[in-house]
Amino acid sequence: MGKYLICITGASGSVYGIRTIKALVEGGHEVHSIVSSWGNRVMERETGKSLASWIGELGLPPERVYAPEDLAAPPASGSFRLDGTVVVPCSMSSVGAIASGLCLNLIHRSALVSLKEGRPLVLVPRETPLSLLDLRNLTVLAEAGAVILPASPAFYQVPQNIDDMVNFVAGKILDRLGIDHNLYTRWGT
């Protein structure tokens, strides 16, 4: 099984990160995580649960959840081997920092390490509308090798509830990491 880092920033849509972690853990993968301080605040607002509650519910070992200000944590180093890093949701401030090569926190540093090491980096922006600056920063990151995967659920599978839409986005993330799943019904099946 693989070893993945899932980062949650302060953009709305923390459920996408939570569902991705859940799917990876249920699939037997080793999951590490970083949640920014604003990511934690938004998570509490959107789900009614704190990061600590989610860690227990998802079965994440606490020693694999890193403080965003801890730039000495394992994901800060290229020698810490990962099969992929996902920032979901990815705030536009994080997009801008990563595109500029700024290491303002461990999430930014981990994303930059993934790029420099040539490892999969999936960024899931949830912002709308996008400004010209956002589009340019996303272009820089795509040119550097990141996968830009907007949190845009499809409707061809006729979602019955919000969970179906969240599952679609989490499934697309797993697709980009090359991980089999059954989170959504594929077109033509």
Residue from 33, 95, 38 nearest 62 by CA? 33
Instruction: List the binding residues.
Output: 10-12, 36, 91-94, 103, 126, 156, 172
Query: Cis ω on the peptide bond leading into residue 68 (within 30° of 0)?
Result: no
Contact 19, 170 (CB under 8 A): yes
Contact 17, 88 (CB under 8 A): yes
Instruction: List the binding residues for dimethylallyl phosphate.
Output: 156, 172
Residue matched to tokens 């907007």: 150
C-alpha–C-alpha distance, residues 43 and 62, integer Å: 17
C-alpha–C-alpha distance, residues 84 and 68, integer Å: 18
Residue matched to tokens 């509490």: 44
Query: Partners of 63 in the beta sheet?
Result: none
Instruction: List the binding residues for FMN.
Output: 10-12, 36, 91-94, 103, 126
Contact 109, 78 (CB under 8 A): no
Question: Within its chain, how far is the Cα of 15 from the centroid?
Answer: 10
